[in-house]
Structure 1
Amino acid sequence: MALKLTEIQLLENELWWGGAIHDGVRMPYGAADVEHDLRNLFENSGAPFLVSNRGRYIWQDRPFRFEFRDGTLSIDCEETVNLREGRPGTLKEAFREAAGRHFPAQGRTPDPLAITAPQYCTWMEMHYEPTQQKTMDYAREIIRQGFPPGVLIIDDNWMEDYGTWRFHPLRFPDPKQMTDALHDLGFKVMLWVCPYVSPDSQTGRQLEKKGLLVADEKGKTALRRWWNGCSAVLDYTFPESRAWFKGALDELAERYGIDGFKFDAGDPADDVNGDWVTGYRWKGTDVPNEDCAAYSLMGLHYPLSEYRASWKAGGAPLMQRLRDKPHSWGEDGIRALIPNSIAQGLVGFAFNCPDMVGGGWDGDLGGGAFDPELFVRYAQCSALFPMMQFSTAPWKALDQRLASYCLEAARLRERLGAELLSLADEAAREGTPILRAMAFEFPEAGLEFVKDQYMVGSSILAAPVLGKGETSREIAFPDGIWQGEDGSRVEGPIKLTVQAPLSRLPWYRREASSV
């Protein structure tokens, strides 16, 4: 289909959010020249959706290219652009109208433990060598160190082979005994999975004969090079392929008591230099990104399902994690967490999770790259997100004093668990983000460009420190009386510099009389 160009004049002081989540650091759009093609999701999630602080929004069925320049929003799309005027003209009202029409809340939350307690991933602890003994030792040490039991994610290489989703008998000799013991300790258990299939395995040969693998443009089984090799790809746009995958996962849930799955990969077919290039023949679609949308359907069957890559999954009870980030103080690292998570909420991904505390890049914390201060500030920044996930054990990476600051961040989450669950229930009913932009709650306060603090619901303001060596920070307090966790009391609206030593995560509750 040919692209159609539509030009929309921006209203006075109009700013926009949405599209590709990983681009959240450049949002809000409208004040500077920006362009992006939504066929490229930067190995994260997104939606064909833009929403403005002046009550307008755009939703398309297909990905589109957009550009903000000289007060004009230009959109190249294969469809007629659907620009709607929300009422009464705020970011919150436009979001609510769009969510109700295009990505309504599905009435369910992930398992509550994913929200009230931290999640613990084995990736940085065990890399490609998880075992039953290591997993049990890790779980017991979590508790011994005073951290609350939560969701434990057993990452890559617990299985026999890619696509052969059975526990490796040497590494995990008695999986049922393991999951029973973890449940007794108070944990829920997730397993890492992906849509890739080792082509020379018995499973790969069987799936090829059944026609359940993605084909290339010559009709042969396609091979995709990814971060851990070269594999065939299960055609998850095809109902029979999804049924096969679900059968394998259901067996794990029913036989061993597995509570859910970390659905890794699933990125839109192939992105090369930002251009959509694919030789794949998906049975269920020829529309860019719709393969990614089909992958998200798998997670709806389980109480715990985590995704890094998804498309048009707003309103679903899925755990949406930000893309892996380097151990960095910059906009590629800790400074991306808040703006990208704000973007997640504004496309309907309410149950969002920052990247893992302790890093997700293999080898990233080795040598001189590791910064203990950054580790602590990362934990504090994540503490009041809808979800929080550790990948590296603080007690191993840090000295006792610094590890105690991470423990306090985890315990804060536990103390506020009931409140976070209440917000999750609201998100399940209405689709409202849990983590919110300041402009979402305070549309008249001129806070659209405040991207280093956030609201949890409508009454808690969190303002983590995001700069190396900083022991204070400026906070923009909206109208109202704000009670600090340190006992301070602030009357807004005001910008105020507060003290924040490494031991402190500044957060404030708006007094009920101010609401």
Structure 2
Amino acid sequence: MKFTNGYWMNRPEYDVESPMETYDARQDEKKLIAFAPFKRVLTRGDQLNLGATTMTFTSPVENVIGVKLEHFDSENHGPSFKVNNLDPDVAIQIDDNTASLTSGQLKVSLPLRTDFDLKFTVDGKLITESAQKAQGVIFNHDTKVSYMREQLSMGIDEKIYGLGERFGNFVKNGQSIDIWNQDCGTGSEQAYKNIPFYISSNGYGVFVDEPQRVSFEVGSENVDRVQFSTEGQSLQYYVIYGPTPKEVLHRYTQLTGAINLPPAWSFGLWLSTSFTTDYSESTVLKFIDGMKEHHIPLDVFHFDCFWQKGFEWCTLAWDKEMFPDPVGLLEKIHNRGVKVCVWLNPYIAQKSSLFVEAKEKGYLIKRQNGDVWQWDLWQAGNGFVDFTNPDAVAWYQSKLKELLNMGVDCFKTDFGERIPVDDVKFFDGSNPKQEHNYYTLQYNKAVYEAIKDVKGSEEAVVFARSATVGSQSYPVHWGGDCLSNYNSMRDSLRGGLSFLLSGFGFWSHDIGGFEDGADRPTPDLYKRWTQFGLLSSHSRYHGSNVYRVPWNFDEEAVANTKRFVDLKLSLMPYLYTQAAHSAHYGNPLMRPMFLEFSEDPNVFDNSTQYMFGSQLLVAPIFNESGRGHYYLPGGKWTSLLDGKVYSVPLAGQWVDEEYDELSLPVLVRENTILIRNEKADHASYDYTKDVDIHLYQLSDGKVTTKVVDLHGDDVATVTAKRKASKISVNTTGISGSVNVYVHSDNNITSARLVDGVAEIDL
């Protein structure tokens, strides 16, 4: 939202008042409270007929400083994001000239009785500031609506990332972004997952703690500042110091909620019925058996919308005409070693048998006059489950638990974005404008916790489309409705990387694209997207009106699917260890290059490749010609698929190569220990037994890696030490038949692990 007309004037409908000085400050235990009037106070007369902002500074996490700006003292009807307070030590200083609060290395300081300024510094070095006239208390005299605004400075060459799942340019500079969840597809400025948190290339992040619409102008109104504004009389935000982007994300998740680790089986291949295709028990079993006949391991089968009767979504009951014995069907699928996911959303159609029950008990969102809030979008007479009502939550969960006890393993939690704000009344009196974005958290939390109650905490996983702050605790999320073309494949990755830089750990997308045309997806696109999908944290075939089984495309598609499913399963000792460690620290498994190489400016704009954990680089192919164009930071990189070695100068280099449809760039970083099991036929297995240990381009010195179990706990260690032309390997917790492979330049040397030890001469 823009308020100004050029640099000097405001738009005619807006009156803008800004603090012109910090008049005084006081300490209240661990808080610093300052009073900032809208003009310089030089005489007693200046204290009359004058507005002001009260600024409260706190620190809930070390190296994080919270700022609350208040014009009028107004009641917050909620909901509010959960913000954790770890109660770190702070230092507050107030003298005649300056007031300041320091948390860890981060300091906020305000000069007193002089021109307004608000500086955030580390060791005396400025990281960002709110200069004079950056803050604003704004009144639109046409609409009678008030806003609060803050502007934080940007440095020369500073780049801004994050703000949720954004499908446009990866670097947000120059963009206007509204934090407002919408059912939008993946090709517009809107998003399903809006997160009011950004991360800067200069080593800090900013979280705006407001659940309602927050409008960001990222160097797009004032070109040297990031502006954020929201309706109301107060505005709260947190400045989070790193200095690395990994540390910023770590502190952000300490503040807003931990990333939970999904079960290992969820990392395997998911196969969907697709959306509007015809399917029954025989169709489902034919597809599952077809995967086995083609020797393609399958971990999860997903039933999309039509497991229920049309016009009745979500009635949360099987369509008995198509599935007369759902318990028997689920047992047959489980006996094939496959988990089951079913689709749902939080809307209940008027035709559903649940509608009358929910209406009578007051479990649906209402209009101000007490009627159920309904519309015909999506399903006829849709009502919305009111998750602000604890009884409604328990009722909804009881329906899900019936399905879980029947044999369903998890749910695809679709929708949650189109939550009304006009003529709306929530059970707990929540402000509809604040509830709109927040609703998805309540919805996905209810479903996740229902699974947790029945299956246990380590088995809980959803496949969610919408998200807000805190949703990282309820994984996994997927990218939404993309098109079956290469541009949309690229857009999906760009949106995913932006989302993963916003405090989330795991992400997926519809392999092949969701919206099918008459000839979509093409076999070529299907194969390229399969490679990308199986080198993502979670991997699901899904579409609209086309079955996604590989034999429907061509024989090479079958070979391609098998190759990359096998590859992912073989990598699970590495991937699940990386996933567990990343989630614990608050970092994503799929990482934008900027996150792993924050000192290399060549990667700052790069959103067409990524690191898969800390040690693997993946560059999907986005064209039918097979051309790969990607960047390698300095060092030695080894192709995981064909062993080719790239010796890259410290300055880095771009690579252009052609790849057939069974290949793509997957590069291993130097000094990597990669644990694999090439005989795996599911994603969940013992990652410490009968594995292969691969050592890639080791330098002199010692390298160590851990291996986790299915609980995500470290249970094994592998250490490799190179001295000149000799490498020694020592392990603890690794058992069975184990081979060690040393990849040195273009040569591979192997040895057997005996009693946990191997010695290799190069």
TM-score (norm 2): 0.62
**Shift in CA distance, 15/141, structure 1 to aligned 2, threshold 3 Å:** same
- Specify whether residues 223 and 420 from structure 1 end up closer, same or farther in structure 2 by C-alpha distance, changes over 3 A only: same
Q: Secondary structure at the match of 2:466?
A: coil
Pairing 1:369-448 to 2, within 5 Å after superposition: 369-391=520-542, 392-446=547-601, 447-448=603-604
Aligned residues of 2:507 and 2:536 also touching (Cα < 8 A): yes
Preserved CA contact (<8 Å) 1:52 1:94: no
SS in 1 for 2:163: strand
Cα deviation, residue 369, structure 1: 4.4
Residue aligning to 2:676: none
How far is 1:128 from its partner?
Answer: 5.8
Name the structure 1 match of 2:472. Answer: 315
CA contact (8 A) 1:56 1:83 kept: no
The question of whether the paired residues in 2 share the 8 Å contact of 1:453 and 1:462 is answered with yes
**Residue 357 (structure 2) aligned to one of 206, 212, 223:** 206
Measured in 1, the distance between the counterparts of 2:444 and 2:469 equals 9
1:29 aligns with 2:142: no
> What are the ranges of 5 or more consecutive residues in structure 1 without an aligned counterpart?
271-276
Check whether the contact 2:367–2:425 (CA below 8 A) recurs between aligned residues. yes
Aligned to 1:109: 261
Report the Cα distance in structure 2 between the residues aligned to 1:477 and 1:422, rounded to whole angstroms.
24
1:15 paired to 2:166: no
Deviations along 1:111-169, one digit per CA (max 9) or x if unpaired, are 21111x11111125xx2643222222221112112211211111112135324322222
Task: Indicate the larger mover: 310-319 or 453-462.
Answer: 310-319
Kept in 1, the 8 Å contact 2:351–2:380? The answer is: no
SS of equivalent residue, structure 2 residue 331: helix
1:456 corresponds, among 603, 612, 620, to 612
Q: 1:71 maps to which residue? A: 224
Give the Cα–Cα distance (whole angstroms) in 2 for the partners of residues 29 and 167 of structure 1: 44
Give the match for residue 155 of structure 1.
304
* 1:357, distance to aligned residue in structure 2 (A): 1.4
* 1:40 to partner: Cα distance: 4.0
Equivalent AA in structure 1 for residue 208 of structure 2: Q
Q: Which moved more, 1:337-346 or 1:449-458?
A: 337-346
CA distance in 1, matches of 2:634, 2:264: 32
- Distance in 1 (CA, whole Å) between partners of 2:322 and 2:391 is 31
1:283 counterpart letter in structure 2: F
Contact 1:109–1:317 at 8 Å: present in 2 too?
Answer: no
Residues 82 and 202 of structure 1, relative CA distance in 2, 3 Å threshold: closer
| Aligned-partner Cα distance in 1 for 2:318–2:338 | 19
Residue of structure 2 equivalent to 1:54:
202
Q: Is the 8 A contact 1:110 1:319 kept in 2?
A: yes
Q: Deviations over 1:438-482 (max 9, x none)?
A: 01011111111111110011110001111232x232221112211
Structure 1 distance, partners of 2:323, 2:261, is 31
- In our comparison, the structure showing a higher alpha carbon Rg is 2
Q: Report the Cα distance in structure 2 between the residues aligned to 1:460 and 1:342, rounded to whole angstroms.
A: 16
Match for residue 259 of structure 1?
A: 409
If asked which structure has higher relative contact order (CA below 8 Å, sep 6+), I would say 1
Alignment partner, residue 5 of structure 1? 149
- The residue that corresponds to 1:273 in the other structure is none
Q: Deviations over 1:402-440 (max 9, x none)?
A: 332233222221121222111221233222100001010
By how many angstroms is 1:251 displaced?
0.9
Q: Distance between the aligned counterparts of 2:263 and 2:577, measured in 1?
A: 13
Listed as ranges, the gaps of 5+ residues in structure 2 are 1-73, 75-145, 183-189, 452-459, 672-697, 704-762
Shift of 1:280: 2.7
Residue 177 of structure 1 aligns to a residue whose secondary structure is helix
Task: Indicate whether 1:135 and 2:288 are aligned.
Answer: no
More deviation in 310-319 or 145-154? 310-319
Alignment match, 2:493: 338
Q: How does 1:193-272 map to 2 (within 5 A)?
A: 193-254=344-405, 256-270=406-420
**Distance across 1 between alignment mates of 2:669 and 2:563:** 22
Q: Percent identity?
A: 21
More helix by share: 1
Q: State the aligned residue count.
A: 492
Q: Does 1:510 align with 2:659?
A: no
Question: For 1:266, what is the secondary structure of its paired residue?
Answer: coil
How much does 1:83 deviate? Answer: 4.4
- Determine the structure 1 residue equivalent to 2:122: none
The verdict on how the C-alpha distance between 1:383 and 1:128 changes in structure 2, with shifts beyond 3 A counting, is closer
Distance 1:476 1:104 in 2: 32
Separation (CA, whole Å) in 2 of partners of 1:369 and 1:393: 11
1:338 and 1:202, CA in 2 relative to 1: closer, same or farther beyond 3 A? closer
Corresponding residue of 2:482: 325
TM-aligned CA distance change 1:268 to 1:468, over 3 Å = same
| Structure with more of its chain in strand, by fraction | 2
